[in-house]
Amino acid sequence: MRARSVTLAGYTLAESLVSIFAFVFILGSVFLLFSISYRGFVLSQTRQDIQNEVLRARQWLEQDFSLTHLGSIGILPRQTSSYGESVSRDAVCALSVSDWSDDGNFFSTGLPRWNRYVIYYATQESSGRLIRQVIDPQGMDPPLIIRPYPKLYSVQPIESLDPTEIVSSRQLASDVVEFNCRLDLREQSLWQILKVRKRGGRATQGLKQTDQVIEATFRWDPLNTAPRL
Amino acid sequence: MKSRPFIDIRSFPQRGIALITVLLVMTLCSMLLGAFLVSHRGFIVAFRGGQDRDLISSLTKSLNEYCRFKLEEDRTWGSSFSSVKVSVVGNLTIRELVTDGPVSYLEGRCNSSGASFSVGLTNNLQSDAAGFDNIPPRACQLRIVVKKGGVQGGAVTLLQRAAFFDSSAVASEQIRVDSNYISLESRDPIRNQIRSLGSMELGRLKNRSNRDRYRFRPNEETLNSSRGTVWAQGAINLRDGSGASDSLEEAANTTGAQWIDQASTHYDIPQLTLHDLDVAEDRRPLSIDPGTYMFTRSPLLVRMQGSSEWITLNTPIPMLEHWEGDYKASNIEEVHFLEADLRQAMRNQGLDPLFRADVAHLEQPGTPVRSRYFVEDNFPLQEGMRINLQEKRIVIDADRQATVQGDFRVGTDQWDLVPELNFASVTDWSKRGTLSATGDLTIQGRVKGVGNLLAGKNLTIAPNSVDQDASDDSNIALFAGNDVTIRPPSSAWIPSEHVQFRGLVYAEKNFHFQAGWAAERRQTLSIEGALVARSGSINISDANETRLIYNPEFLEDLLRRWYDERSQVELISWRPL
């Protein structure tokens, strides 16, 4: 009589180990890929945030400084320390009008009837904020004469302006490292450097923490400078 | 026997699994992409919007420049388009539409970006009155609308004819004004400024009487935000003789004007030559002999007919001497006097006044001079030029363009005589007389009427009396190829206080005003128009008041040809849409 043969379905130890290693390898790769992608995503998100802030700030800066009179631009140079280095955190002002679409804000000659000042400044803390304020100066009846806002130089710090003069205040950007302004009288233009730096998490490769930095340089030609200086 | 593949795609269930797997993968990919886009949407929108806004902003500026250029070519451009005209300028296709109403339109497209635009153009450049929609005189309004995608933008801009000289005083070198009061005034709607490519010395904010030295008076009818501008590429010093000074910041706060020193903006002072100045072509030429025309009172010598003896008439006779060259006896060319005065002097001497006699000048006793004596005063020296001995006046007719090949001088050697050069055009300001000399031009007396004094070299006005009431009937423009010098009298007895010019005062080199009687500082220098020292300096000394009044209308009188040919148009205001 022949013995009955039985086939046992199973894995050898070697097969199991290989399978487990393969599985761990694949899973690890997937996690690594995910981790890298996630870090990249976080970085790009951070970068977008900064770019959005800079773009938003740029819109306001362009609107205010392209439409002003060169003679009304005043710059208060200020320095502070950020990330271990000395940086500019200037304050800058210019004349404006309350509503550009209002005919009442213009003289018969076509020149603007200036009735507001706008002030931009970056706060002095290590990670600064870019602030835009619209000022309705007390005791100065419109039309305002063409000169920088006098209190830009007399009120120290500029953050402590009389709140009754401030029509509106808006934060345009955070994590500002540098806000540098320079008047180029030869070209009759205003140059501004806005540098923003955000904690961006770890880099896609390695464990090193990286910051996202954007430095934008703007040039504005004040179009309502008439007559040309 | 055929072996079966692990997955037989021909079997229906396995094909289904494959399809589902593919769909799952695609769905996963789509979700990933969607998530990416959603998370980036804000940025993409902002970025694209920013790009469009940049494009619209650039295109608006380009269109403004295009129109400005066209208006400089032809100031009537856009007043009325009679036919559709298409032009391609760079990437822009611009179509001029037929004008129907007070506003003309351009339409077009930017070929590279696909942006479309329209420009509404209200041209009032040629009019001296406000135009449609209250467009200011001599201005053109542009309403520029640009569309790109869903974003629309643009601007309303105002362009205006630029002035030839844009300041009440302008110099390449120093401007120095030593005056108790300095008034900067303007009849121009937007400008009230003085400019120096060098430095300025102007005195402190308070004068010796502790009163405000500076008075800025912009055009009150067209108020704007600027009281005035003092602009220099060098330093602006507000200091007195002791060295004490005021800062420009104090000056700005006190006066409300802009004080700009160390300016680095490029600035040109246009150069004029004698031939550039406008002289109407219908003026008849008048050629005047060069030399000195001297109003004086002098004894004459007479030699009665048939006698060889010269008799000196003791009674001085009012006369006009004409000298050529230097002021010395041998250069006397002619003397002019009234016959009645000669006869009276002869009668006073016991001579027969009706007797015929030769006449000699005291300085040339043995030589009869070319003498012309006239029956009546206000006699014509030549056609278009009359002499009034009683008033000590030389009158040049308004319809004349008088020219002198050489130097021309009007003067006197008598302290109590006040010669006058008069352009007989008081009643009609459109008729300007002109006296031009290729050499030096010197008037030792008053200049009145409406006219131009043009000197190829130096121009000097040294009145021994000055315009007493600064009345509005004088309108004199000065031009010198070298220096302009004005030196009013210093005698204390002279009651007058004003030296006044209306029109362009142009010195190719320097302008000097030296007021007399420095201790009292009683005289006012008033220049309405523009004062230009193109390559030199402006130096005003010891005046009580210096009034520099910018008035482009007076400049146009003299520079009309320039205004027609040089049609610069400048941007005045920019309003966003």
Q: Which two tokens stand for residue B443?
A: 């008037």
Contact B136 A144 (CB under 8 A): no
Low-confidence stretches of chain A (pLDDT beneath 50)? 1
Q: Which residue of A has its CA nearest to B225?
A: A145
Q: Which residue of A has its CA nearest to B45?
A: A52
Phi, psi for residue B13 in degrees, rounded to 5: -60, -40
pLDDT tens per residue across span B60-116: 999 999 999 999 888 889 988 989 999 999 889 999 999 888 899 999 999 988 999
Contact of A106 with chain B, judged by CB distance below 8 Å, is answered with yes
The whole-number average pLDDT for the span B449-461 is 89
Nearest to B195, CA basis, from B270, B124, B245: B270
CA distance B410 to chain A (A): 42
Q: Is A28 helix (H, G, I), strand (E, B) or coil?
A: helix
Residue B285 has pLDDT above 60, yes or no: yes
Question: pLDDT above 70 covers what percent of chain B?
Answer: 84
Best mutation target, B227, B571, B575, to test chain A (most A CBs within 10 A): B575
Residue B573 with chain A: CB contacts under 8 Å = 106, 110-112, 224, 226
The whole-number average pLDDT for the span B245-257 is 88
Helix (H) or strand (E) holding A72: none
Pick B142 or A205 by higher pLDDT: B142
Report chain B's mean pLDDT, rounded to a whole number: 83
pLDDT tens per residue across span A158-190: 888 888 999 999 999 999 999 999 988 778 899
Evaluate whether A50 touches A193 at the Cβ level (below 8 Å).
Answer: no
Among B227, B571, B573, select the one facing A112 at the smallest CB separation: B573
Q: How confident is the model at residue B469 (pLDDT cuts 50, 70, 90)?
A: very low
Q: Which two tokens stand for residue A104?
A: 């009442």
Pick B201 or B30 by higher pLDDT: B201
The whole-number average pLDDT for the span B50-61 is 88
Evaluate whether B193 touches B225 at the Cβ level (below 8 Å).
Answer: no
Among A48, A150, A229, select the one facing B260 at the smallest CB separation: A229
CA distance B127 to chain A (A): 14
Contact of B495 with chain A, judged by CB distance below 8 Å, is answered with no
List CB contacts of B482: < 8 A, sequence separation 6 or more: B455, B457, B458, B507, B508, B509, B510
pLDDT score of B203: 92
- Rounded to whole angstroms, the Cα distance separating A221 from A201 reads 38
Contact of A95 with chain B, judged by CB distance below 8 Å, is answered with yes
pLDDT score of B470: 40
pLDDT score of A202: 65
Contact of A145 with chain B, judged by CB distance below 8 Å, is answered with yes
The whole-number average pLDDT for the span B41-55 is 74
The whole-number average pLDDT for the span B160-174 is 91
Residue B260 with chain A: CB contacts under 8 Å = 71, 229
Contact of B136 with chain A, judged by CB distance below 8 Å, is answered with yes
pLDDT tens per residue across span B326-354: 777 777 888 888 888 888 888 888 887 77
pLDDT tens per residue across span B554-564: 777 667 666 66
The whole-number average pLDDT for the span B289-307 is 86
- Rounded to whole angstroms, the Cα distance separating B128 from B363 reads 59
pLDDT tens per residue across span B487-533: 876 554 455 557 788 888 999 999 998 876 544 666 788 888 899 99
CA distance A84 to chain B (A): 31
Residue B252 with chain A: CB contacts under 8 Å = 147
Residue B39 has pLDDT above 70, yes or no: no
Contact of A55 with chain B, judged by CB distance below 8 Å, is answered with yes
pLDDT score of B565: 65
Q: Tell me how crowded residue B31 is: count the other CB atoms within 10 A of its CB.
A: 10
pLDDT score of B519: 47
Residue A218 with chain B: CB contacts under 8 Å = none
Q: Which two tokens stand for residue B385?
A: 């030029």
Residue B139 with chain A: CB contacts under 8 Å = 110
Contact B53 A59 (CB under 8 A): yes
Q: Which residue of A has its CA nearest to B266?
A: A186
Contact B258 A71 (CB under 8 A): yes
Contact A108 B130 (CB under 8 A): yes
pLDDT score of B188: 86
The whole-number average pLDDT for the span B307-323 is 87
pLDDT score of B431: 66
Among A63, A108, A111, select the one facing B134 at the smallest CB separation: A108
Best mutation target, B41, B190, B261, B573, to test chain A (most A CBs within 10 A): B573
Q: Which two tokens stand for residue B112?
A: 């590279």
Distance set, CA B438 to CA B58, B89, B290 (Å): 52, 48, 10
Contact of B406 with chain A, judged by CB distance below 8 Å, is answered with no
Contact of B134 with chain A, judged by CB distance below 8 Å, is answered with yes
Cα A60 vs. chain centroid, distance in angstroms? 11
- The DSSP string of B241-302 is TTS-EE-HHHHHHHH-SEEE-S-----------GGGS---TTPEEEEE--EEEEEEEE-EEE
pTM: 0.76
pLDDT score of B368: 67
pLDDT score of B346: 87
Among B191, B256, B263, select the one facing A185 at the smallest CB separation: B263
Evaluate whether A95 touches A140 at the Cβ level (below 8 Å).
Answer: no
Contact of A97 with chain B, judged by CB distance below 8 Å, is answered with no
pLDDT score of B468: 38
pLDDT score of B302: 85
Contact B40 A48 (CB under 8 A): yes
Residue showing tokens 């961006």: A200
- The DSSP string of B506-574 is EESS-EEEE-S-TTT---EEEEEEEEEESSS-EEEEEEEEEEEEE-HHHHHHHHHHHHHH---EEEEEE
pLDDT score of B300: 84
**The dihedral sign for the CA sequence A35, A40, A45, A47:** positive
Question: pLDDT above 90 covers what percent of chain B?
Answer: 31
pLDDT score of B437: 93
Amino acid type, B72: E
